[in-house]
């Protein structure tokens, strides 16, 4: 077996083991341990899995054909791949309104009247997924908000993120986005037709 083939075999083997360990760590964490935020927990699982496999990668005789720099590169690739998986699988399924729409259709026999969806999202989606509790918990854990005497307030970090999000939305989101058969820029500034602010604001800090 040539040097390249040997390295390729070792790399594929190590990566397969990393993925198996990652799935096992995630499953144990999700089933038996406390989780504050799904995305952060999944990222922690990626780091734990990499830490468990890395000693075997560095010390195992099977991986001697790989140089130390190649092993380091492989470890970084695992971390990046794990980050992508953490976003693309548990986080998307946990947060996605699109998946909820499909699940709700399946729950109701596969078909729902189109004019019922606005009510479904308000009356069923919010309580079924405890959406307000989940999102407030995520923001508390991220340090973007604080809750003080029943008032949810932005932190300085939260204000910076909100400014960035609004500017990105206005300047870089698609201005000709297909929405139910029409191309629109409505989502580049969803507050433009918000009207007068409802009376739910707290006193300024």
- The per-residue pLDDT for range 130-187, each reduced to its tens digit, is 999 999 999 999 999 999 989 999 999 999 999 999 999 999 989 998 988 999 988 8
Domain spans, the chain: 3-95, 98-188
Closest CA to 22 of 47, 40, 3, 1: 47
Q: Is 6 or 124 the better-scoring residue by pLDDT?
A: 124
Judged on CB neighbours under 10 Å (0-12, 13-18, 19+), 176 is exposed
- State pTM to two decimals: 0.83
Check residue 197 and give its pLDDT: 66
Which residues, 6 or more positions from 187, have their beta carbon under 8 angstroms from its beta carbon? 169, 173, 177, 179
Query: Mean pLDDT in the chain?
Result: 91
* pLDDT band at residue 200 under the 50/70/90 scheme: confident
Place of tokens 């001697």: 64
* pLDDT band at residue 50 under the 50/70/90 scheme: very high
- The per-residue pLDDT for range 60-91, each reduced to its tens digit, is 888 888 888 999 999 999 999 999 999 999 99
Judged on CB neighbours under 10 Å (0-12, 13-18, 19+), 4 is exposed
- Report whether pLDDT(99) > 80: yes
């Amino acid at each position: 077996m040539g040097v390249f083939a040997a390295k390729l075999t070792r790399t594929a083997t190590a990566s397969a083991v990393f993925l198996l360990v990652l799935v096992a760590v995630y499953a144990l964490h999700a089933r038996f341990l406390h989780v504050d935020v799904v995305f952060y927990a999944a990222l922690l699982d990626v780091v734990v899995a990499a830490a468990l496999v890395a000693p075997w990668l560095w010390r195992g005789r099977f991986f001697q054909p790989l140089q130390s720099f190649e092993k380091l590169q492989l470890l970084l690739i695992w971390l990046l791949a794990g980050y992508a998986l953490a976003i693309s699988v548990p986080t998307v399924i946990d947060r996605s309104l699109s998946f909820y729409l499909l699940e709700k259709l399946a729950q109701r026999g596969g078909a729902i009247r189109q004019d019922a969806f606005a009510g479904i999202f308000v009356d069923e989606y919010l309580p079924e997924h405890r959406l307000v509790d989940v999102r407030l918990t995520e923001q508390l854990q991220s340090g973007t908000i604080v809750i003080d005497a029943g008032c949810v307030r932005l932190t300085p970090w939260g204000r910076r993120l909100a400014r960035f999000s609004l500017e990105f939305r206005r300047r870089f989101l698609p201005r000709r986005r297909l929405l139910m058969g029409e191309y629109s820029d409505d989502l580049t500034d969803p507050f433009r037709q918000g009207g007068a602010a409802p009376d739910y604001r707290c006193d300024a800090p």
